[in-house]
Amino acid sequence: MCSEVVCAAPSIYLDFARSGLDPRFGVAAQNCYKVEKGAFTGEISPAMIKDCGADWVVLGHSERRHVFGESDELIGQKVSHALLSDVCVVACVGETLEQREDGSTEEVVYAQTQVIAENVSDWGKVVLAYEPVWAIGTGRTATPEQAQSVHEKLRAWLRAHVSDDAADSVRIIYGGSVTAANCRELASQSDVDGFLVGGASLKPEFIDIINARA
């Protein structure tokens, strides 16, 4: 099985990443804004991303939501504009530890996915990433069973609220302290289609994660 690998680089390194990586690897920005142009100091547009040779963007990452205060509505607007600009999207959803412990995981990820879905013009250009906030950079990882449970429910949500085609074709990837030690068991779950990898992508073990389904 051939894995698709996309490197999500900081914006100032997009051109460097694209020029240095083998063409078989994709390149993604870590964020973009919701409009084509205007007085938005410090922001980048999908058009700028494409100028650098990249064709993906990560939107709704937990740090954008919880550190920078981005709302579901803003993330949805970004998804819409990126897709209309012919940039593929990795759209992130996930709950905090408090939300998991109070039993509202499904409510939270469904609400986040709903706003994303309302702004998707082409599901063929979208990857959903489930990243439980409590497992990002903490060393804690959702068990394979926990990850599979949420992924399965997200796929069922797509089937019920979008279409069978979307549910069957959209890749749902897992992010949250993925390492070489846990990737194979996570990858063995039927609804885990890949990974959104943070720190481990900077280590040699990233090769093992890429080949987790081999």
Q: Give the pair of three-digit tokens for residue 89.
A: 């999207």
Measured CA to CA, the distance from residue 124 to residue 12 in angstroms comes to: 28
Please give the angle made by the CA atoms of 108, 110 and 113, to the nearest 5 degrees.
110
CB count in 10 Å sphere of residue 107: 12
Please report which residue ranges of 67-171 form alpha helices under DSSP H. Answer: 72-84, 97-101, 105-118, 144-161, 164-169
Measured CA to CA, the distance from residue 60 to residue 30 in angstroms comes to: 9
Q: Active-site positions?
A: 61, 131
